[in-house]
Chain A
Amino acid sequence: MQRILILGGGVGGTLTANLLVKKLRARIDRGEVEIIVVDATGQHVYQPGFMYIAMGGERASNLSRPERSLLDKRVTLMIGEVARVDEPTQTVTLTDGLSVGYDHLVLATGSRIVPEAIESFDTQAHHFYTAEAALDLRKALDRFDGGRIVIGIAGMPYKCPPAPLEVAFLIEAELRQRGLRDRSTIDFCSPIGRAFTIESVSDMVTPILEQKAIELHTFFNVESIDAARKVVVSLEGEELPYDLLILVPPHKGQQFLMDSGLAPAPGGWLPTDRHTLLVGDRPNVYALGDATDLPLSKAGSTAHFEAPVVAERISAAVAGRAPAGKHADYEGKVMCFFEIGDGKGTLLQFDYDHPPKPPKPSQLWHLGKIVFNKTYWHTVPKGRV
């Protein structure tokens, strides 16, 4: 019996488990292979929907389903928090003391937000990285009747890189529709020397920012928030006053990965091979999704395209063969929609060797994103797209 242990029931963990069943069904049915997913909550949350709680009338209840309902019946689901991975004994221990051994380990443990890393973040800054925070932002926008809006990024890397720009565009459009644009300013703060990490995307969005009169501040790395003066201060010495502050919170990998010696502090991102998705020089430990240190978007899309590679490589190891076919190696494929506002969007599709060439913003890509979000539950986790 070989046991494949998958930590995390998000996009990467769920899809990997279901793809492994497709590849190893006969061996599972003969009792030769067992697949276990360990998830902290047992609820699968569609995080890209959070932004739409703030910006599009989405409800939190539509964004969560029981993980059990998404997994093939041949996969065992365990609900519990991981405390530690012990590599010498190939054992994972949960916080309730239960230990589970593994032959193959998949770390699909995602990322976590750490707003507490910045003093006064909790009381001064809004964000949209939890359902609750997104709803609070919606309420703040409903109360907003003009003034200074500052949108920024308080730490890199972070989930869904286009999201803060999308929020800037969507808020700008909303303010126009509500007749508040003339008495409002919008500042967009980027930690790097341009609007977006990928140059071709930055070249696309910079003129749109100008056209929408959203002021771009580059090299703005959030250092502190002066709550008394209502000013956000950058490491570079710039200060921006705000009436409504929206910041992407700092992100980290899971603490137990650092405690177990799998990921270095302080970030906690797993050192992952860009093609095999193996962690370090370990032959049987894989990482995918937000948990890796790969120079790619931390996004469900990344995990979506990595999962077939992890499934193929583990299946090959179980069968004693070399990985084969188009999923033998990961080539860095990512695809995501990008809202521009006013019912328009574009598409970012790229890999390690081919930067995105975003098409002209149109209604098509906005509608594509809406349809994808609505049909997600029936497609991605089950390996149908």
Chain B
Amino acid sequence: MTDTAVAITRTVDARGSFCPGPLMELIRAIRESQVGDVIAVYSSDKGSKLDIPKWIEKAGHRLIALEVRDGYDEIIVEKQR
């Protein structure tokens, strides 16, 4: 699905969930993942493409990509700590 050449470790499909659902789903995935894992979040909530990058920055992880898809956004993050 992504335009970037990166191996996705885990996909969180939060489409249909409303703020803060997608962020909470990502946080759960981050908690369960290892450093270096790459997580893709699908969200149809328009707030996610603002909230999730802000959270990624505060939490010290790396935003790899934010892609606009058909009816949803795909946000890719690498767990860094």
CB pair A193 B27 closer than 8 Å: no
CA distance A192 to B20 in the complex (A): 7
CB pair B54 A193 closer than 8 Å: yes
Q: Closest 5 A-B residue pairs measured CB to CB?
A: A295-B18, A236-B59, A192-B20, A219-B58, A193-B51
CB pair B60 A192 closer than 8 Å: no
State whether A235 and B20 are in contact (beta carbons under 8 Å apart), knowing that A192-B51, A219-B58 are contacts in the complex: no
- Please name all residues of chain B whose beta carbon is closer than 8 Å to the beta carbon of A60 when the two chains form the complex: none
Task: Answer whether residue B30 sits at the interface, using C-beta atoms and an 8 A cutoff.
Answer: yes
Q: Which secondary structure dominates chain A's binding surface? A: loop
**Which of B17, B18, B58 has the most CB atoms of chain A within a 10 A radius of its CB?**
B58
Q: Please give the distance in Å from A193's CB to the nearest CB on chain B.
A: 5
- Interface size for B (C-beta < 8 A) is 18
- Interface size for A (C-beta < 8 A) is 12
**Out of A197, A219, A221, A237, which one reaches B19, CB within 8 Å?**
A197
Task: Answer whether residue A156 sits at the interface, using C-beta atoms and an 8 A cutoff.
Answer: yes
Q: B residues bordering A, Cβ < 8 Å?
A: 17-21, 23-24, 27, 30-31, 50-51, 54-55, 58-60, 81
CA distance A156 to B31 in the complex (A): 14
CB pair A219 B55 closer than 8 Å: yes
Question: Considering the complex, which residues of chain A in the window 212-260 have a beta carbon less than 8 Å from any beta carbon of chain B?
Answer: 218-219, 221, 235-237
A-B contact pairs, 27 of them (CB 8 A): A156-B24, A191-B24, A191-B27, A192-B19, A192-B23, A192-B51, A193-B50, A193-B51, A193-B55, A197-B19, A197-B20, A218-B58, A219-B55, A219-B58, A219-B59, A221-B27, A235-B30, A235-B31, A235-B59, A236-B55, A236-B58, A236-B59, A236-B60, A237-B59, A237-B60, A237-B81, A295-B21
